[in-house]
Amino acid sequence: MFSLFTKGRRAKLRATPLPAEWLLILQRNVSLYRRLPPEDQRELQGHIQVFLAEKEFEGCGGLEITDEIRVTIAAQACILLLHRETDYYPGLHTILVYPTCYVAEDRRFSPDGVVTEGPQARLGEAWQRGPVVLSWDEVLANAADVRDGHNVVFHEFAHKLDEEDGVEDGAPELPRRSMYVAWARVLGQEYERLCRDADAGRPTVLDTYGAENTAEFFAVATECFFTEPVQLLRRHPALYRELAEFYRQDPAGLASEEEG
């Protein structure tokens, strides 16, 4: 539960209009913002105010943090919060931003138990109970083209939602206890289906990186829900319905209205 002080402070922030230059950044950089109905745009603007007041941004690799970087990232992170009671990613305090892809040490476990370690180029990552790390040029490219099937901000912030119940396992804290049975059944079946498709080399609307584990599956499914909603609804209707109930949004409906 949020304290009365926190609720009051956040309510004041949400009621504060965004500076005109921030609105221009939203209009210019975040294509999904332009597709939202006016009431959702206003709600998102309020969430952005709270997010930027509570989170720190740090530039890495020589990158200087600007309002454009902060607003563009915050907008996409807060799209995942629309229409829901939210504590604004309580385990997150800092977002680290590199100018482009960066190299980090990686550890992988093969099915036969062999551990492989070494450097790996990355576009983003979310540390459990720690910061989110992002590549700015990837953030900007994803924000500009919401239909390209990839969005590093949606992916990494889905991980932060997943961990809010204390375990990063592909099952975030759901609004009602009655939702857990259907969530486990549908997402479990869809995860196994993706694993089979990945093993067989079959094409799928879901990125096969989601076959890594159930946490990655939820993050990949979230990306697809917002970037390729019509295809997801058509090919995986049960999965789409679970995500629509959790996020309380219907991006496929928005896409259909836009095309119509």
At 222-248, the pLDDT tens digits run: 999 999 999 999 999 999 999 999 999
Q: Which amino acid is at 167?
A: V
User: Using an 8 Å Cβ cutoff, are 134 and 153 in contact?
Assistant: yes
The answer on pLDDT for 106 being more than 70 is no
Q: Find the mean pLDDT for residues 105-115.
A: 57
Instruction: Output the pLDDT for position 186.
Output: 98
If we measure between CA atoms, which residue out of 54, 77, 78, 52 comes closest to residue 65?
A: 52
Question: Average pLDDT in the 21-41 region?
Answer: 97
Q: How far is CA 248 from CA 33, 35, 49, 240, in A?
A: 16, 16, 21, 11
- Residue 175's pLDDT band, with cuts at 50, 70 and 90, is confident
For residue 24, pLDDT over 70 is answered with yes
190/254 same-domain check: yes
Torsion of CA 223, 82, 127, 57, to 10 degrees: 110
Report the pLDDT averaged over residues 178-191.
96
CB 233 within 8 A of CB 258: no
Question: Count of CB atoms within 10 A of residue 232's CB?
Answer: 23
Are both 128 and 257 inside the same structural domain?
no
Average of pLDDT values for 120-146?
91
Number of separate domains in the chain = 2
Percent of the chain with pLDDT over 90: 81
Q: CA–CA distance from 188 to each of 52, 90, 138, 168, 242 (Å)?
A: 35, 27, 30, 15, 12
Q: Which domain covers residue 136, as residue numbers?
A: 1-166
Residues 14 and 25 in one domain: yes
The amino acid present at 39, given as its one-letter code, is: E
**CATH number of the CATH domain containing 183:** 3.40.390.10
What was the pLDDT predicted at 161?
Answer: 97
Residue where one domain finishes, among candidates 131, 166, 201: 166
CB-CB contact of 31 with 145 (8 Å): yes
Query: What is the DSSP code string of 208-259?
Result: GGGGS-HHHHHHHHHHHHHHSHHHHHHH-HHHHHHHHHHHT--HHHHHHHHH
pTM assigned to the model: 0.92
What pLDDT score was predicted for residue 113?
58
- Considering the domain architecture, whether residues 144 and 202 belong to the same structural domain is answered as no
In percent, the amount of the chain with pLDDT more than 70 equals 92
For residue 149, the domain's CATH number is: 1.10.472.150
Cβ atoms within 10 Å, residue 46:
18
The candidate with the shortest Cα–Cα distance to 212, out of 131, 146, 125, is 125
Q: Are both 84 and 210 inside the same structural domain?
A: no
Identify the band that residue 148 occupies on the pLDDT scale cut at 50, 70 and 90: confident
Kindly indicate the confidence band of residue 168, based on its pLDDT and cuts at 50, 70 and 90.
Answer: very high
Strand order in the sheet with 56-59: 56-59, 94-98, 132-135, 124-126
Is residue 143 domain-shared with residue 178, that is, in the same domain? no
Do 189 and 130 have their domain in common?
Answer: no
The tens digit of pLDDT for each residue in 149-162 reads 899 999 999 999 99
Residue 8, Cβ neighbours under 10 Å: how many?
11
CA 49 and chain centroid, separation: 18
Distance between CA atoms of 55 and 239, rounded to whole angstroms? 31
- Asked whether residue 108 carries a pLDDT value surpassing 80, the answer given is no
In a shared domain, residues 145 and 26: yes
Q: What is the pLDDT of residue 2?
A: 65
**CA dist., res. 113 & res. 14, Å (int):** 49
120 falls in which pLDDT band (50, 70, 90)? Answer: confident
The pLDDT of residue 121: 79
The strand pair at 115-122 and 124-126 is best described as unpaired
